Amino acid sequence: MDEEKTIERLIFHVDVNSAYLSWESVKRLSEGGEDLRLIPSAVGGDPAKRTGIILAKSIPAKKYGVTTGEPVSMALQKCPGLVLVRPSFGLYERNSKAFMSICRKYAPVMQKFSVDECFLDMTGTSLIYPDPIALAHQIKDEIRDTLGFTVNIGIGSNRLLAKMASDFEKPDKVHTLFTHEIQEKMWPLPVGDLLFVGKMSTARLQEAGIMTIGALATAPVGKIQGILGEKGGLAAWESANGIDDSPVSEEREDAKGYSVSTTLEEDVTSLEKAKHVLLALADSVARRMRADGAKTNCVAVDIRLSKLKNSSGNTPSSRFTNKSRQRKLDAPTDVTDEIYETAVTLFQELWRGEPLRLLGIALSDVTREEYEQVSLFQDEKHERARKLDAAMDKIRGRFGSDAVFRGGAADAGRIGQKFKTRAEDEQE
Give the closest residue to 318 by CA, choosing from 185, 190, 165, 202. Answer: 202
Distance between CA atoms of residues 243 and 404, nearest Å: 47
Q: Which amino acid is at 82?
A: L
Helix (H, G, I), strand (E, B) or coil at 114: strand
Chain centroid, CA 285 distance in Å: 15
Give the closest residue to 372 by CA, choosing from 300, 296, 298, 299. Answer: 296
Distance between CA atoms of residues 350 and 341, nearest Å: 14
Distance between CA atoms of residues 325 and 359, nearest Å: 12
- The answer to whether 106 and 120 have CB atoms below 8 angstroms apart is yes
Three-state SS string over 203-220 comes to HHHHHCCCCEHHHHHHCC
Q: Which amino acid is at 28?
A: R
Distance between CA atoms of residues 46 and 53, nearest Å: 9
- The answer to whether 37 and 29 have CB atoms below 8 angstroms apart is no
Give the closest residue to 123 by CA, choosing from 142, 110, 102, 108. Answer: 108
Distance between CA atoms of residues 229 and 317, nearest Å: 8
Catalytic residues: 117
Partner residues linked to 420 by β-bridges = 405
Cα–Cα distance list, 120 to 106, 142, 301, 394 (Å) = 9, 16, 25, 39
